Homo-oligomer: A and B are copies of this chain.
C-alpha cells in the first residue's frame, strides 16, 4: 500500500494540474465550481453580439433575493459567462449561445479591493481559460468600463425578478 498510494497521489496531482486554469495577473484564482452557481441574470449585447448568463455564489444569490445589492456584501462573487451569438437552426428569430468566449468575475471584498470600488476583477478567455491581462494593471480597464454604474456599486447586472 505504501508504494501504491504515492503513485496515485502523483497521478491525481497531474490530472488536477492539467485542468486548473492559471491565476489572473492580479493573483485572483478561477473560483471553484462556478458552473454550479445559481442564476442571477441574463443579458445580450447588440454591440458585440454576445449572449450572457450571470451566476452568483451563495452570498450573491442571498443578497440579490433579499434586495441588498447596493452595496453587495463582502463575499459575494458574480460570474459573467459570455458566448458568441448564434442563430437557432430551427428558429430563425432565436439567438442562442455559440462558441464560449470568456468567464468574468467580480469578487467583493471592501478592504482588500478598496482601490477598485471594493471589487476584485478577473477574466479567463476561451475554452482554454487563458487569464486576461499582461500584468495587474488590467483591472483598470475593467474598473474604467464599470464607471457608469458607480452608483450601483459598480455592477451592471440587474438580478432577475422571479415570482
What residues of chain A have their CB less than 8 Å away from a CB belonging to chain B?
Answer: 21, 35-39, 41-48, 51-53, 55, 81, 83, 88, 90-91, 93-97, 99-100, 103, 124, 126-129, 148-149, 152, 156, 158, 160-163
Contacts and interface: CB of A to CB of B under 8 A. Distances in A.
A94 B95 CA distance: 14
Integer count of this chain's copies in the complex: 2
Given A97-B158, A163-B128, A163-B129, A53 B42 contact: yes
A88 B127 contact: no
Contacts of A46: 93-95
A37 B162 CA distance: 13
B160 A95 contact: no
24 contacts: A35-B38, A39-B53, A41-B97, A42-B83, A42-B96, A43-B95, A43-B96, A43-B97, A45-B91, A45-B93, A45-B95, A48-B93, A53-B160, A83-B160, A90-B156, A91-B156, A97-B160, A99-B161, A100-B162, A100-B163, A103-B162, A124-B163, A126-B163, A129-B163
A55 B42 CA distance: 12
A23 to B, nearest CB: 15
A81 to B, nearest CB: 7
B156 A43 contact: no
A93 B47 CA distance: 6
Contacts of A42: 42, 51-53, 83, 96-97
Given A39-B39, A127-B163, 9 more contacts: A35-B39, A37-B38, A43-B51, A43-B94, A45-B91, A47-B94, A83-B161, A90-B149, A126-B163
